[in-house]
Amino acid sequence: MKTFKVLLVEDDGPWQKILRADIQDALSGIDWVSAYIRSAATFDEGWEALQEENTWNLLVTDIGFPSEQEMFGKALVERSHRLQIPTIVISAIATSDDVRNFLRVNKIYDFFSKRLYYTRTHHFIEAIQEIAQAFNEEMEPRFETLTDNYHPSIGSDDSSVILNENNRDLSQPNEKKLEKRVSSFNWLHLTDLHYGMKEQAWLWPGVREIFWEDLKRLHDKCGPWDLVLFTGDLTQRGGQEEFQQVDELIQKLWSHLNDLGSRPELLVVPGNHDLVRPNQEEPAVILLQQWLDQPTIQSKFWDDKDSPYRQAVTEAFRPYITWWERQPFKPNGLRTGMLPGDFSVTIANRQGAQLGIVGLNTSFLQLTGGNYQGKLALHARQFHAVCDGDGPAWARKNHACMLLTHHPPMWLSPQSQKDLSANITARGRFAIHLCGHMHEAAYRILSEAGTESRRLWQGRSLFGLEYFSKDKEDVQRLHGYTAGKIELNGGQGKLMLWPREARLQGGQWDIVPDYSLSLTDDQHNHPTMFKLLKPYVNLEAG
């Protein structure tokens, strides 16, 4: 495959990062191996780069109208037209009639308003892919967006509107067309409730009140929700009585969600507080604490389900297992695995979209107190065991997949971290990995040596208390949750997250958007595009 060269001219730093990432996602979405993207932060840099004739296969540029650099923006577009370089124009400023006419005359490939970019990101992705594929097939890209039949006087009062030959506003999506093509899965991500902490007796009623109120506000933005995904530490000590109290809370939560118009299903992975700590003097428990230095114990644990080590783990999670088996809100078709809490399931909707979800237990070694960071284990055997013996093949039966664990990867041993990235989350297998444990929110996207991006969302605790003094008088309260959405459209998926946190405002607690992360005006993260595991066609499209 030939090297596809893209020149990106954008003087706004955050926008340059967004556009560069979307170009990379577009090319990875069609398995483009060799690509070069050069970013220019000024029109002067862009002009100098454009002098290298027969070098660029695509120009993506902010035209910068109107400004003192208007002549340079026009010069970039004019020169790319003379060199027959397909050009995509991005602009944050409303364009006048003469500018729109200028873009039409120079036959730009497409135009995107920054104001509406996040509603048309998938169109930007598709435009990049069309140009790249035409280049690979040595065809001339089609310049049909702006035509001689363009009528600037028809359409919206917004002066930035550009129309095609059918008088459609190209700065806005064709809603009917999108409705037929797009399907989605919406979810709530909850983590670290710690039900059973003594402080909850007087603190939880207030948290529940603001949680219920915010669910209603957020439901109007991104509901109804199909799933509630809980990444562990539902309880504080893992006993039967605490799980009974969790049942009461879940019943009330489901009643509230039903009133809002959601009928979700529940999926859970256990955390280190969802087990009953065994007698630390038991031989099996003592040897499990030496896991990293005992490869023989590791082999026995994974190879023999009747070994005393596996039995010790199973007994520690016995109340959790009993609680989960009687859950009325779990979906049908769950497959269980090697360890308590391991599962896989495919969620299908009426449009024919399939979302695969895998949950894996990372808490099974944390049987005692102490710091376990960098000491926990996760094995690819767990992944394969819940996926009919072949995790990659199972994943490819779905359009997209998600992974749930309690702990973030940094709590795993170095070998388990390698196993996770090389044998579980490799090759774009999971659209996102959800976890908890740390009580604070974090979003990480990692790509090594040009491989598919791995996305990790660490959720904020629903009820977290952090103590800063020996007498436990100094307390930091951490409350929050996240809503999420995956949209499926052709070969592309789009991921969006709505992170929420509790804050003291005017002397009282309220749940608000978590602006410790970069969010859009719609209170979600900047959407991330990813390649679906198999192309999606809406069965209801007709």
pLDDT of residue 265: 98
Q: How far apart are CA 191 and CA 180, in angstroms?
A: 34
- pLDDT, residue 95, reads 56
Q: Which residues contact 61 (CB under 8 A, 6 or more apart)?
A: 7, 8, 9, 10, 46, 73, 76, 77, 80, 87, 88, 89, 90
Residue 225 is predicted with a pLDDT of 98
- Mean pLDDT within 501-511: 94
Residue 302 vs residues 56, 294, 342, 359, 383: alpha-carbon distances, Å = 53, 13, 14, 18, 13
Q: How far apart are CA 328 and CA 396, in angstroms?
A: 29
Segment among 43-57, 198-212, 279-293 with least mean pLDDT:
43-57
Cα–Cα distance, 138 to 39 (Å, whole number): 25
Label residue 494 by pLDDT band (50, 70, 90): very high
DSSP letter string, 76-104: HHHHHHHTT--EEEEESSPPPHHHHHHHH
pLDDT of residue 97 exceeding 70, the answer is: no
Is residue 463 within 8 Å of 190, Cβ to Cβ?
no
- Contact between residue 500 and residue 222 where contact means Cβ atoms under 8 Å apart: no
Q: Calculate mean pLDDT across residues 501-510.
A: 93
DSSP 206-261: HHHHHHHHHHHHHHHHH---SEEEE-S--BSS--HHHHHHHHHHHHHHHHHHHHHT
Q: Is 230 left (phi over 0), alpha (psi -120 to 50) or beta?
A: beta
CA 174 vs CA 85, 161, 186, 432: distances in Å: 27, 14, 22, 28
pLDDT at site 479? 94
Domains and CATH numbers, the chain: 4-173 (3.40.50.2300), 180-276+317-536 (3.60.21.10)
Predicted confidence at residue 1, as pLDDT, reads 62
Helix, strand, or coil (residue 266): strand
H or E stretch covering 202 = helix 200-222
Cβ atoms within 10 Å, residue 177: 11
Tell me: the pLDDT tens digits for 380-436?
999 999 999 999 999 999 999 999 999 999 999 999 999 999 999 999 999 999 999
- The confidence band for 150, taking pLDDT boundaries of 50, 70 and 90, is very low
Q: What is the reported pLDDT for 262?
A: 97
Is the pLDDT higher at 4 or at 96? 4
pLDDT score, position 2:
77
Please report the sign of the dihedral spanned by the C-alpha atoms of residue 384, residue 387, residue 388, residue 394: negative
CA torsion sign for 438, 442, 445, 449 is negative
What's the confidence (pLDDT) of residue 450? 80
What are the pLDDT digits (tens) for 173-201?
A: 444 444 456 899 999 999 999 999 988 88
Residues in the chain: 542
Q: What pLDDT, on the 0 to 100 scale, is given for residue 217?
A: 96
Rounded to the nearest integer, the mean pLDDT of the chain is 86
Q: What is the pLDDT of residues 284-297, one digit of tens each?
A: 999 999 999 999 99
Rg (CA), the chain: 26
| pLDDT score of 104 | 78
- Tell me the pLDDT band of 331, cut-offs 50, 70 and 90: very high
Can you tell me the mean pLDDT for 220-235? Answer: 97
Closest residue by Cα to residue 68 from 42, 98, 101: 42
The pLDDT of residue 445 is above 70: yes
- 46 by DSSP, 3-state: which? helix
In this model, does residue 14 exceed pLDDT 60? yes
Confidence of residue 471 (pLDDT cuts 50, 70, 90): low
Residues 36 and 143: their CA atoms lie apart, in Å, by: 23
Give the integer Cα–Cα distance in Å for 506 and 516: 19
- In this structure, the number of other CB atoms found within 10 A of the CB of residue 382 comes to 26
